[in-house]
Amino acid sequence: MKRIMKPAAIMAVMLLTVALYGQSKEFKTGKSLDIQFSVLRELSLFYVDSVEIDKLVKKGTEAMLEALDPYTVYIPEENEEDLEMMTTGSYGGIGSIITKREGGIELSEVYENSPAHKAGLVAGDMLLRVDTAQTKYLSLDQCSARMKGVPGTTVSFLIKRLRTGIEEEISVLRERIHMPDVPYWGMISDTIGYIRITGFTVDGWKDVKNALVELKKNPELKRLVLDLRGNGGGLLDEAVNIVSLFVPSGTKVVSALGRFKQTDAVYFTKEEPVDLKLPLIVMVNSGSASSSEIVAGALQDLDRATIVGTRTFGKGLIQSIRDVGYNTKLKLTTAKYYTPSGRCVQAIDYSNRNEDGSVGYVADSLIKPFKTRLGRTVYDGGGIVPDVTISPRMYSRIAVSLIYADILRDYSVQYYKNNNSIGSVREFFLTDEAYNEFVDYAEGREFDHRTSSEVEFDKMVETAKREGLFEDFGDSIKDIESKVKLGKRGALIKNKEELKSLLEEEICSRYYFQRGRFEKMATNDEQLTKAVSVELIKTE
């Protein structure tokens, strides 16, 4: 006999179904955690060797987060200093970079006006002892940890001076070391101002504002370049404040949209502008990401600047820091950002992975057009596309090899040791005699001196031998070999002009710190030279 359920029973079943459906997500989470706990318990009790559960959990957590995106990461208590450095650009220490050498630790870089600088330390000085520890027995991380500390405390060194070779005991008072977001600004021609921005840390926008105010004191200023090349981003608020220097107060800069309403936000400029009319050029490249893309995208959408260079990285994801207990943190992606026109510049779709776990770029079919304030068409789906594309100079293979082998840097230290001064950055150029000295120096160092042509030639020879063709073309191959295999000295001479400019930048950094490096880079920069002469977009 067919039974008919009463309305009350039907309602009860429906409520139970809804309740079970609503709880299914929580049930799955609880089930997964229960299984994980059981696995850890079994490992702890019965695994053949002793198991450090805390390390296992940490590794498992990191692997779990890697499956989401590269920006969602677990920050253990011991890495909290790295988080502070990332957000504030500051740490407690003496203000230097170190490198491992035979017999000790060498100062590779000293920051301007840092405690190390005030104590008379220079790049090339050897640290033989830090407090009571002999540096030849320390790793770089161990030595760095001893040098860092609470501002106001002291650290003692036994050092060997670069220029005199004299060993000397000194004490250095640690300070709060801040890495400025603007390492260099100035006039790069009679009418063009330039501001290099390398980060977006707390109050970094004030560095940009101060530079802009100083540049505007020059009545001849006709254009301004904001250089964001290689700037991987930072704090979103700093990007908003930098845009505020050039647009009216209350202008929409960026929107953040996440899964939940509490993560949604719209950011408007709050600070009063410094200049609303000065023609702007914003330089970007594939290393410009995150906050750099917010600045470039907003100024492009608002038709306030001409974007020049190459397509940006395409990071349209926003991270937040969450406390997860026991002095540990979780940096997790909570939203995507959108430029004023509505574009999301995120290039990689982490939410839709391939079967092998890999991720792909946003499909061309999904890219949509948007309109700027004055009606120009711009697109989403993969970084900020410049208004004017200017490709950078590609460095030769030997230049990259010399940089990675620290040979350019090491020669600059030797040059600094033998020369007390070089004059101004703008007036310094490496003489042919000095370059020949560098060639002699580099020839005695180990590095891969092969040109790209030589690498490809070697591949061709191997293929010819494998296919039995080498003997047929032996004479021709030898003729090509005589032309492409230059040897160390030949390769150094062949790439003289390129290597000279790189050496000049390194040497200027020895005398004038990072400020000198970036100033010299600006004078040698072919892409920048082309950028300042482009036809600007209409802003009205």
The 3-state secondary structure of 286-304, one letter per residue? CCCCCHHHHHHHHHHHCCC
315 is catalytic: yes
pLDDT the model gives residue 74? 92
> Are 278 and 159 contained in the same domain?
no
With a pLDDT cut of 70, the percent of the chain lying above it is 95
The residue-averaged pLDDT of 502-517 equals: 97
The answer, yes or no, to whether residue 437 has pLDDT greater than 60, is yes
Higher-pLDDT residue of 485, 345: 345
Q: Does the pLDDT value for residue 3 go beyond 50? A: no
Q: Which domain holds residue 98?
A: 90-178
Residues 154 and 248 in one domain: no
- pLDDT for residue 342: 96
Please name the residue that has the structure tokens 């920006």. 71
Look up 301 and say whether it is catalytic.
yes
- What pLDDT does residue 512 have? 97
Q: Torsions phi, psi of 151, nearest 5?
A: -55, 140
Question: CB under 8 Å, gap of 24 or more: what pairs does 432-440 form?
Answer: 435/496, 435/499, 435/500, 435/503, 438/411, 438/492, 438/499, 438/503, 439/489, 439/492, 439/493
Please tell me the predicted confidence (pLDDT) of residue 469.
75
Could you tell me if 468 and 428 are in contact, meaning their C-beta atoms sit under 8 angstroms apart? no
- pLDDT band of residue 283 (cuts 50, 70, 90) is very high
Out of 118, 149, 178, a domain closes at 178
Q: Using CB atoms within 10 A of its CB, is residue 369 exposed (0-12), middle (13-18) or buried (19+)?
A: exposed
What are the DSSP E strand ranges found in 221-305?
Answer: 223-227, 252-257, 265-268, 280-284
406 pLDDT above the threshold of 60 = yes
For residue 434, being part of any structural domain is answered with: yes
> Radius of gyration over alpha carbons of the chain, in Å?
29
Active-site residue (options: 315, 329, 488, 520): 315
In a domain, 466, yes or no: no
Q: Are residues 173 and 249 in the same domain?
A: no
Give the model's pLDDT for residue 1: 43
Helix (H) or strand (E) holding 178: strand 175-178
Nearest to residue 241, comparing CAs of 206, 191, 277? 206
Q: In this structure, are residues 263 and 116 in contact, taking their beta carbons and an 8 Å threshold? A: no
pLDDT above 90 for 466: no
Alpha carbon distance 109, 96 (integer Å) = 5
110: β partners: 96
Residue where one domain finishes, among candidates 337, 364, 389: 389
∠ CA 279-281-285, rounded to 5°: 170
| Residue 243 sits in the same domain as residue 192 | yes
Task: Tell me the CATH number at 158.
Answer: 2.30.42.10
Residue 252 has pLDDT above 90, yes or no: yes
Rounded to whole angstroms, the Cα distance separating 346 from 314 reads 5
CA distance 389 to 530: 10
Question: Which listed residue (207, 301, 380, 387) is catalytic?
Answer: 301
Task: Look over the chain and give the mean of its residue pLDDT values, rounded to a whole number.
Answer: 90
Strands 265-268 and 252-257, sheet pairing? antiparallel
| Tally of domains within the chain | 3
The Cβ of residue 39 has, within 10 Å, a number of other Cβ atoms equal to: 12
Catalytic residue status for 501: no
388-389/306-309 β-pairing:
parallel
- Same domain for 100 and 193: no
Parallel, antiparallel, or unpaired for β 133-134 and 154-160? unpaired
Are 121 and 221 in the same domain?
no
Report how far residue 293's alpha carbon sits from residue 382's, in angstroms, rounded to the nearest whole number: 11
The pair of three-digit structure tokens given for residue 120, joined into one six-digit string: 């008379």
CATH number of the structural domain spanning residue 299: 3.90.226.10
Range of lowest pLDDT (26-40, 143-157, 178-192): 26-40
> Where is the domain boundary, 178, 195, 213?
178
pLDDT of residue 457: 83
pLDDT for 85: 72
Q: 2 to each of 5, 9, 10, how far by Cα in Å?
A: 10, 16, 16
Q: Which of 244, 290, 291, 412 is catalytic?
A: 290
The better pLDDT of the pair 355, 276 is held by 276
Pair 206, 154 in one domain:
no
d(CA 71, CA 332): 7
Residue 56 structure tokens: 């296992």
Integer Cα distance of 113 and 117 in angstroms: 6
The tokens 């002469």 sit on which residue? 533
Q: How confident is the model at residue 8 (pLDDT cuts 50, 70, 90)?
A: low
